[in-house]
Amino acid sequence: MVRIEQDILSKNNTYAEANRRRFAEHGQFVVNLVSSPGSGKTTLLTRSIELLKGRLPIAVVEGDQQTSNDAERIRATGVRAIQVNTGKGCHLDAHMVGHALEHLAPVDDSLLLIENVGNLVCPAGFDLGEAHKVVVLSVTEGEDKPLKYPDMFHAAALMILNKTDLLPHLDFDVEACIANARRVNPAIEVMQLSARSGEGMQAWLDWLEAGVRAATSARLGEVEALRRRVVELEAQLKEKT
């Protein structure tokens, strides 16, 4: 079983590196959103798209076991989205994402949002080539989730505490939840927001826009470095002739 798992992950990582090179070449900032079912990922996505539309080019890869309901909700915002159904599979893998990109063809210097299958176990181990995993945790789920599913919270760069508008009606200890997440991953960044009310959304939008700027800058830097190398080689050829 261990050998089979190692072989599967090794093959996935090869596809993930190919995806990562592709994203870098095109200046695409790619975020892999992960959570358990019912956390509000799709609502967060649609609200984010509505607020960012016109400011950033955006495309979405939707992962689910069955139906195209979530992709249809995304397309209703006017943004391109492709649905990837995993059937009995509990996560997206890098090959699925690479194949989806061939059909989606996101533009250069853009934001690509990947909504993974609702599951806090399997997606933790599968690199898709993304810049960051972002784990979405609803305040209705319990503050001990980071301890129950440590691999996911360890793999994530950012934890979003969603549905904060419900806090007055719940016995949810925000500080304990954040402390639990940082026991697992001391470097994890935390944002609190409500996709429904809009409270706290600006910090999330700023984070996404900063990521796109960084990806674009890196792409342009690579282009400039390549241009300079070509100039150097041309100068060396002239000297020889």
Position 1 scores a pLDDT of 47
Instruction: List, run by run, the mean pLDDT of 10-residue segments along the chain (241 residues).
Output: 61 95 97 95 95 94 82 91 85 94 94 95 94 97 96 98 97 97 98 96 97 94 78 74 67
Question: Could you please report the per-residue DSSP string of 171-192?
Answer: ---HHHHHHHHHHH-TT-EEEE
Position 6 scores a pLDDT of 58
User: On the CB side of 38, how many CA atoms lie within 13 Å of its CA?
Assistant: 4
Position 3 scores a pLDDT of 54
Q: Would you say 146 and 177 are in contact if contact means Cβ atoms under 8 Å apart?
A: yes
Say how far residue 60 (Cα) sits from the centre of its chain.
Answer: 10
Give the residues across from 58 on adjacent strands: 111
Burial class (CB in 10 A: 0-12, 13-18, 19+), 168: exposed
| Through-space distance between the first and last CA atoms of the chain, rounded to whole angstroms | 61
| Alpha-carbon torsion, ordered 76, 81, 83, 89, to 10 deg | -120
User: 95's torsion region: left (phi>0), alpha (psi -120 to 50) or beta?
Assistant: alpha
Go through the domains of the chain in sequence order and give each one's CATH number. 2-240 (3.40.50.300)
Q: From residue 84, give the alpha-carbon distance in Å to each of 49, 63, 97, 98, 187.
A: 19, 5, 8, 11, 31
137 sits in which H/E element: strand 132-138
Query: Rounded to two decimals, what is the model's pTM?
Result: 0.89
Position 90 scores a pLDDT of 85
How far apart (Å, rounded) are the C-alpha atoms in residues 115 and 113? 6
Q: From residue 135, give the alpha-carbon distance in Å to each of 144, 146, 167.
A: 14, 10, 19
- Least Cα distance to 47 among 32, 63, 58, 61 occurs for 58
Position 7 scores a pLDDT of 66
